A and B are shown apart, each in its own frame.
Chain A
Amino acid sequence: GEDVEQSLFLSVREGDSSVINCTYTDSSSTYLYWYKQEPGAGLQLLTYIFSNMDMKQDQRLTVLLNKKDKHLSLRIADTQTGDSAIYFCKTGGSYIPTFGRGTSLIVHP
């Protein structure tokens, strides 16, 4: 089966940039996704990137894709306390969605 790997925790200071990384094994994904889970809630789609792109910017969010290395990253500029959440990487090649374990982003003052 497909594997999606993420580090479990990331701690940053408010105002700094956060970079959350993900590696995956399935190279057939047409889209790759980032989901965000706020405390006490379900996962929500945050952003995505088409597999023929290497970068996508959406306000404070930048998604970088290195297809050769099967590496996806999410950069959050000017991280705020409201960005504290669990961030999940998801691939879409298989009909069965595969999520990473999630990276808990902790933002401290």
Chain B
Amino acid sequence: DAGVIQSPRHEVTEMGQEVTLRCKPISGHNSLFWYRQTMMRGLELLIYFNNNVPIDDSGMPEDRFSAKMPNASFSTLKIQPSEPRDSAVYFCASRGVSGNTIYFGEGSWLTVV
């Protein structure tokens, strides 16, 4: 099994630039989650999709953040414009229809300078 695939694995960008993070969930999974992990705040849920529809985006920090899921096999998390405080590891995770186990990608390590 391929698992959850995220890209890029590492990104360093300048403040003000647009950042797009990508995720391919496990085939057949119908729930997708975007998390952010920092030392200060731990693991935070940003947004949750079910059957490609955003169900809960209350964790999205502000309007600079947006997420889309145009189909069952692809999602993006966009930050525009990026700021240094956005530096973190961003994880995508997916879950199957009948399961409770969440499967995580390896993460996208973002540094905004």
Q: Quick check: B48 and A42 within 8 Å, CB to CB?
A: no
Q: Quick check: B101 and A42 within 8 Å, CB to CB?
A: no
Instruction: Tell me whether A97 and B102 are in contact in the complex, defined as CB-CB below 8 angstroms, given that A41-B107, A42-B107 are known contacts.
Output: yes
Count residues on chain A whose CB falls below 8 Å from chain B CBs. 20
**Within 8 Å of chain A (Cβ to Cβ): is B42?**
yes
Q: Quick check: B100 and A92 within 8 Å, CB to CB?
A: yes
Instruction: Tell me whether A96 and B106 are in contact in the complex, defined as CB-CB below 8 angstroms, given that A30-B100, A45-B101, A88-B43 are known contacts.
Output: no
**Within 8 Å of chain B (Cβ to Cβ): is A24?**
no
Q: Which residues of A contact B25 (CB under 8 A)?
A: none
Chain B contact patch, size range = 10 to 19
Q: Quick check: A97 and B106 within 8 Å, CB to CB?
A: no
What's the Cα separation between A108 and B79 when bound, in Å? 39
Q: Which residues of B contact A35 (CB under 8 A)?
A: 102
A–B Cβ pairs within 8 angstroms, 25 of them: A30-B100, A31-B100, A33-B100, A40-B106, A41-B106, A41-B107, A42-B93, A42-B104, A42-B106, A42-B107, A43-B43, A44-B104, A45-B101, A45-B102, A45-B103, A48-B101, A90-B102, A96-B45, A96-B48, A96-B55, A97-B33, A97-B45, A97-B95, A100-B42, A101-B43
- Residue numbers of A with Cβ under 8 A of B are 30-31, 33, 35, 40-45, 48, 88, 90, 92, 96-97, 99-102
